[in-house]
Amino acid sequence: MQEAISLGREGMTKNGGGPFGAVVVCDGKMVGRGYNQVTTLLDPTAHAEIIAIREACRSLGRFALNGCELYTSCEPCPMCLAAIYWARLDRVYYACTRHDAAEIGFDDDFIYEQLPLEIAARSLPMEQIEREHSLDLFREWMAKPDKVPY
Protein backbone atom coordinates (compact mmCIF):
# COMPACT_ATOMS: atom_id res chain seq x y z
CA MET A 1 0.00 0.00 0.00
CA GLN A 2 2.90 2.34 0.70
CA GLU A 3 3.98 2.06 -2.95
CA ALA A 4 0.44 2.90 -4.14
CA ILE A 5 0.38 5.98 -1.90
CA SER A 6 3.86 6.97 -3.05
CA LEU A 7 2.79 6.65 -6.70
CA GLY A 8 -0.27 8.80 -5.98
CA ARG A 9 2.01 11.47 -4.56
CA GLU A 10 4.36 11.20 -7.55
CA GLY A 11 1.51 11.65 -10.03
CA MET A 12 0.05 14.53 -8.06
CA THR A 13 3.46 16.25 -7.91
CA LYS A 14 3.79 15.90 -11.69
CA ASN A 15 0.26 17.34 -12.12
CA GLY A 16 -0.80 14.11 -13.81
CA GLY A 17 -4.16 14.23 -12.09
CA GLY A 18 -5.53 13.48 -8.67
CA PRO A 19 -3.67 11.93 -5.74
CA PHE A 20 -4.27 8.33 -6.76
CA GLY A 21 -1.82 5.45 -7.09
CA ALA A 22 -2.15 1.70 -7.54
CA VAL A 23 -0.04 -1.43 -7.80
CA VAL A 24 -0.79 -4.97 -8.92
CA VAL A 25 0.99 -7.73 -7.03
CA CYS A 26 1.37 -11.31 -8.23
CA ASP A 27 3.14 -13.97 -6.17
CA GLY A 28 4.50 -11.28 -3.85
CA LYS A 29 6.03 -9.27 -6.72
CA MET A 30 4.85 -5.91 -8.08
CA VAL A 31 3.96 -6.48 -11.74
CA GLY A 32 2.02 -3.29 -12.46
CA ARG A 33 2.21 0.27 -11.18
CA GLY A 34 0.18 3.33 -11.99
CA TYR A 35 -0.76 6.80 -10.94
CA ASN A 36 -3.48 9.07 -12.20
CA GLN A 37 -2.54 10.59 -15.58
CA VAL A 38 -5.89 11.98 -16.70
CA THR A 39 -4.65 15.53 -17.26
CA THR A 40 -1.25 14.74 -18.79
CA LEU A 41 -2.53 12.09 -21.19
CA LEU A 42 -5.79 13.97 -21.82
CA ASP A 43 -7.52 10.66 -21.16
CA PRO A 44 -10.41 10.39 -18.70
CA THR A 45 -9.74 6.63 -18.42
CA ALA A 46 -6.10 7.06 -17.31
CA HIS A 47 -6.84 6.33 -13.67
CA ALA A 48 -4.15 4.74 -11.49
CA GLU A 49 -5.89 1.37 -11.35
CA ILE A 50 -6.34 1.21 -15.13
CA ILE A 51 -2.68 2.10 -15.74
CA ALA A 52 -1.54 -0.52 -13.20
CA ILE A 53 -3.81 -3.21 -14.70
CA ARG A 54 -2.54 -2.48 -18.22
CA GLU A 55 1.08 -2.67 -17.09
CA ALA A 56 0.45 -5.90 -15.15
CA CYS A 57 -1.19 -7.53 -18.18
CA ARG A 58 1.77 -6.56 -20.37
CA SER A 59 4.27 -7.74 -17.73
CA LEU A 60 2.56 -11.10 -17.31
CA GLY A 61 1.61 -11.52 -20.98
CA ARG A 62 -2.05 -12.23 -20.27
CA PHE A 63 -5.35 -10.40 -20.09
CA ALA A 64 -6.64 -12.14 -16.96
CA LEU A 65 -4.99 -11.32 -13.65
CA ASN A 66 -6.13 -14.32 -11.63
CA GLY A 67 -3.74 -14.86 -8.76
CA CYS A 68 -3.06 -11.11 -8.45
CA GLU A 69 -4.08 -8.44 -5.96
CA LEU A 70 -4.53 -4.71 -6.39
CA TYR A 71 -3.45 -2.13 -3.83
CA THR A 72 -4.90 1.32 -4.42
CA SER A 73 -4.74 4.57 -2.49
CA CYS A 74 -8.51 5.04 -2.79
CA GLU A 75 -11.64 2.96 -3.21
CA PRO A 76 -11.97 2.41 -6.97
CA CYS A 77 -14.39 4.49 -8.99
CA PRO A 78 -17.09 2.57 -10.92
CA MET A 79 -14.99 2.49 -14.11
CA CYS A 80 -11.96 1.08 -12.30
CA LEU A 81 -14.10 -1.34 -10.33
CA ALA A 82 -15.52 -2.71 -13.59
CA ALA A 83 -11.98 -3.04 -15.00
CA ILE A 84 -10.93 -4.89 -11.85
CA TYR A 85 -13.76 -7.37 -12.35
CA TRP A 86 -12.91 -7.75 -16.06
CA ALA A 87 -9.25 -8.35 -15.16
CA ARG A 88 -10.32 -11.08 -12.72
CA LEU A 89 -8.13 -9.83 -9.86
CA ASP A 90 -8.41 -11.94 -6.71
CA ARG A 91 -8.60 -9.13 -4.16
CA VAL A 92 -8.49 -5.36 -3.77
CA TYR A 93 -6.98 -3.44 -0.86
CA TYR A 94 -7.80 0.28 -0.68
CA ALA A 95 -6.87 3.10 1.69
CA CYS A 96 -9.19 6.12 1.40
CA THR A 97 -12.91 5.74 0.64
CA ARG A 98 -14.93 7.32 -2.15
CA HIS A 99 -16.39 9.59 0.56
CA ASP A 100 -12.87 10.76 1.45
CA ALA A 101 -12.34 11.47 -2.27
CA ALA A 102 -15.61 13.44 -2.42
CA GLU A 103 -14.34 15.68 0.37
CA ILE A 104 -11.44 16.79 -1.85
CA GLY A 105 -13.54 17.28 -5.00
CA PHE A 106 -13.66 13.82 -6.61
CA ASP A 107 -17.30 12.80 -6.47
CA ASP A 108 -17.37 9.26 -7.84
CA ASP A 109 -20.44 8.75 -5.70
CA PHE A 110 -22.54 10.43 -8.41
CA ILE A 111 -21.74 7.58 -10.82
CA TYR A 112 -22.32 4.99 -8.10
CA GLU A 113 -25.78 6.55 -7.59
CA GLN A 114 -26.56 6.52 -11.33
CA LEU A 115 -25.72 2.86 -11.97
CA PRO A 116 -28.67 1.21 -10.18
CA LEU A 117 -31.18 3.56 -11.88
CA GLU A 118 -33.20 2.43 -14.87
CA ILE A 119 -31.61 3.73 -18.08
CA ALA A 120 -34.42 6.24 -18.64
CA ALA A 121 -33.94 7.68 -15.12
CA ARG A 122 -30.21 8.39 -15.51
CA SER A 123 -28.94 11.91 -16.09
CA LEU A 124 -27.10 10.80 -19.27
CA PRO A 125 -29.62 10.37 -22.13
CA MET A 126 -29.29 6.97 -23.81
CA GLU A 127 -31.25 5.61 -26.76
CA GLN A 128 -31.13 2.13 -28.23
CA ILE A 129 -30.77 2.01 -32.03
CA GLU A 130 -29.70 -0.52 -34.69
CA ARG A 131 -30.19 -3.57 -32.43
CA GLU A 132 -30.86 -5.98 -35.31
CA HIS A 133 -27.62 -5.06 -37.08
CA SER A 134 -25.69 -5.51 -33.89
CA LEU A 135 -27.38 -8.86 -33.20
CA ASP A 136 -25.96 -10.04 -36.53
CA LEU A 137 -22.52 -9.16 -35.23
CA PHE A 138 -23.23 -11.10 -32.01
CA ARG A 139 -24.33 -14.14 -34.02
CA GLU A 140 -21.08 -13.97 -36.00
CA TRP A 141 -19.16 -13.98 -32.71
CA MET A 142 -21.05 -17.05 -31.49
CA ALA A 143 -20.22 -18.90 -34.72
CA LYS A 144 -16.55 -17.80 -34.85
CA PRO A 145 -14.52 -21.00 -34.38
CA ASP A 146 -11.24 -19.32 -33.42
CA LYS A 147 -12.55 -16.80 -30.88
CA VAL A 148 -10.64 -16.31 -27.64
CA PRO A 149 -13.25 -16.28 -24.88
CA TYR A 150 -12.83 -13.95 -21.96
Question: How many angstroms separate the CA atoms of 42 and 89, rounded?
Answer: 27
Task: Mark whether 49 is an active-site residue.
Answer: yes
**Region class of 105: left (phi > 0), else alpha (psi between -120 and 50), else beta:** left
Among 49, 113, 118, 130, the one annotated catalytic = 49
Q: How are the residues of the chain apportioned to helix, strand and coil, as percentages rounded to the nearest 5?
A: 45, 15, 40
Average pLDDT over residues 116-143: 96
Average pLDDT over residues 128-147: 96
pLDDT at residue 107 greater than cutoff 90: no
Average pLDDT over residues 9-21: 94
132 — pLDDT class (breaks 50, 70, 90): very high
Q: What is the pLDDT of residue 22?
A: 98
Query: What number of H helices and E strands is found in the chain?
Result: 7, 4
Q: Residue 147: which residues within 8 A CB-CB, separation 6 or more?
A: 141
pLDDT at residue 62 greater than cutoff 90: yes
Question: How many angstroms separate the CA atoms of 109 and 99, rounded?
Answer: 7
Helix (H) or strand (E) holding 140: helix 131-143
